[in-house]
Structure 1
Amino acid sequence: MSHLPHDPTGGDRSRGYHHGNLKVSLIEAGLEALTHVEADDLSLRQLAKEVGVSANAAYRHFEDKDALLSAMAAEGFRRFARAQHDAVAQEPQAEGRLKAAGRAYVAFAQAHPALYRLMFQRLSCVATDPDLAQSAIGAMTVLLEATSSTLHAPAHDERVRVAAAACWSLVHGLSALSQGGQLAVFGLPMNELIDRVLAMPSLLSQVQPVQG
């Protein structure tokens, strides 16, 4: 079961509208719905009914379901970033921060599979949605900074950025494979597998001087 934050309306969802929190309440209701359905199956009208308002009231905040899905994805990326940031903050050794971020990355994908899929599906909309773009960049920045810390080089260093891209590709791939159960074939605990993959020499060699 997903552990999404508590409903801010305190259980009486209809109060969200009266207190001016309808937009937040609809996003929360959508995120909660993703614990048992895929994004394509969501209905803005049904979510409005669940929070205790009319469909017309919901449409004052979201032009259509597509707009709601982008807002949900943006909130997902913010939570994704917090999960990684919190994991990194608990790691006292610089060399372990990349592994901590990687473990948090995969754990989030495992805990919230439908939300995780929605988030990355909506990345095609970042050019027209500043909130989604900012939240997505924020989530990816955590991994970049963890890579920088692990490699003892500035985040703007091209070698660090290449290493971060490689790490992102690896943890994103591990996340996708973990959802399908394919990683069980390796017979390793998930966190151990993540740590060992991210410690591969080919990644750490990025801090060596570039030839030519």
Structure 2
Amino acid sequence: MDNDGTTTRNYHHGNLRAALIDAGLAALEKSDQAAFSLRAIAREVGVSANAAYRHFASKDDLLSALAAEGFRRFAAQQAAAAQQGAGNIGELRTATAKAYVSFAQAHPALFRLMFSRFLYASSSEDLKVAAATAFQLLLQASAQQAGVAPDSEQAMMTAVANWSMVHGLSHLLLDGQLSVFGFGLDQMIDGIVNLQGANRPKAT
């Protein structure tokens, strides 16, 4: 038993950090960030607060780790969607857009955390790398869509345009702003992606 009266479970090195992250992700979906507590997460895992603080110096450190894990899971879904749409530009745009919006719908609190102040204010290198890796997938898909090199300005502008569309759509859906129009999610994404493709300038 630890000095605060909590029985500490016997974790192997590294397992406790992963357990705290898993418990943190579960807790995040049940409450907002303001109600989030590292001590509560430690109790949920069955360890003392002191044990948790050996892995995360503060609540913000744990939130940064949750955001990093969110980006890794998000990137995995985007990669799977890109593979699904490989070989057809229209299918690629649709599959990756649906994966983006679906992630936001399935994990609203995590999605908001990932794109909050933690992305730029955090000192976590793990978070920055995870976020950059996720953006590279968007950039590569956008370069393929535009038929240009990933390091070109056009690829970057296409990526920003695609990101703005799916990110804005995700937030509008999370805030309940689009339910009044009566469109299903797939129908809405298909329509927007097709419209975006129809308005894309033809290569000369």
Q: For this structure pair, what is the TM-score category when the shorter chain's length is used for normalisation?
A: 0.7 to 0.9
Q: Residue in 1 aligned with 2:94?
A: 99
CA deviations on 1:92-142 (whole Å, 9 max, x unpaired) are 43312122111100000000000101111121225x221111101111222
* Residue pair 1:76, 1:119 contacting (<8 A) in 2 also: yes
Q: 1:79 aligned to 2:43? A: no
Q: TM-score, normalised by structure 2?
A: 0.87
Name which of 116, 121, 124 aligns with 2:120: 124
Identity of aligned residues (%): 46
Partner of 2:60: 66
Match of 1:109 in 2: 104
Is it true that 1:166 corresponds to 2:172 in the alignment? no
169-178 vs 33-42, which deviates more? 33-42
Letter of the 1:105 partner, please give it. Y
Opposite residue 62 of structure 1, the aligned amino acid is F
User: Any stretches of 5+ residues in structure 1 without a counterpart?
Assistant: 1-13
Q: 1:89 to 1:129 in 2, by over 3 A?
A: same
Q: Could you say what secondary structure the match of 1:70 adopts?
A: helix
For 2:5, the equivalent position in structure 1 comes to none
SS of the counterpart of 1:131? helix
Residue among 16, 26, 34 paired with 1:32: 26
CA distance in structure 2 between the partners assigned to 1:163 and 1:28 by the alignment: 35
What residue is the counterpart of 1:47 in the other structure? Answer: 41
Is 1:19 the counterpart of 2:12? The answer is yes
CA distance in 1, matches of 2:197, 2:62: 43
Q: Which moved more, 1:94-103 or 1:107-116?
A: 94-103
Partner Cα distance (1:132, 1:65) in 2: 15
1:138–1:80 Cα change, 3 Å = same
